[in-house]
Amino acid sequence: MADMLLWILIIVLFIGSFVGLLFPIIPSSLLLWVGFLLYHFIIGHIGTTFWIAMIVFTIFLFGADILANRYFVKRFGGSVWGERIAAIAVIIGSFIIPPFGIIIIPFAAVLVTEMIQERTMNEAIRASIGSLFGFLGGTFAKAVIQVIMIIWFLIAI
Do residues 106 and 96 lie in contact, with contact meaning Cβ atoms separated by under 8 Å? no
Instruction: Answer yes or no: is pLDDT of 13 > 80.
Output: yes
Tens digit of each residue's pLDDT (9 = 90 or more) over 135-155: 899 999 999 999 999 999 999
Q: Would residue 32 count as lying in a domain? A: no
Q: Would residue 52 count as lying in a domain? A: yes
Per the structure, the complete domain to which residue 106 belongs is given by 47-156
Q: How far apart are CA 108 and CA 104, in angstroms?
A: 6
Q: Would residue 36 count as lying in a domain? A: no
- Confidence band for 44, pLDDT divided at 50, 70 and 90: very high
- Predicted TM-score (pTM) of the model is 0.84
Q: Would residue 107 count as lying in a domain? A: yes
CA distance readout (Å), 102 to 1, 20, 135, 147: 40, 12, 8, 22
Tens digit of each residue's pLDDT (9 = 90 or more) over 53-94: 999 999 999 888 778 878 898 899 999 899 889 888 888 887
Q: Would residue 40 count as lying in a domain? A: no
How many folded domains does the chain comprise? 1
Q: Would residue 20 count as lying in a domain? A: no
- Predicted pLDDT at 57: 97
Of residues 49 and 91, the one with the higher pLDDT is 49
Of residues 31 and 70, the one with the higher pLDDT is 31
**Mean pLDDT across the chain, nearest whole number?**
92
For the chain, give percent helix, strand, coil, nearest 5: 85, 0, 15
Q: How far apart are CA 132 and CA 115, in angstroms?
A: 17
Q: Would residue 16 count as lying in a domain? A: no
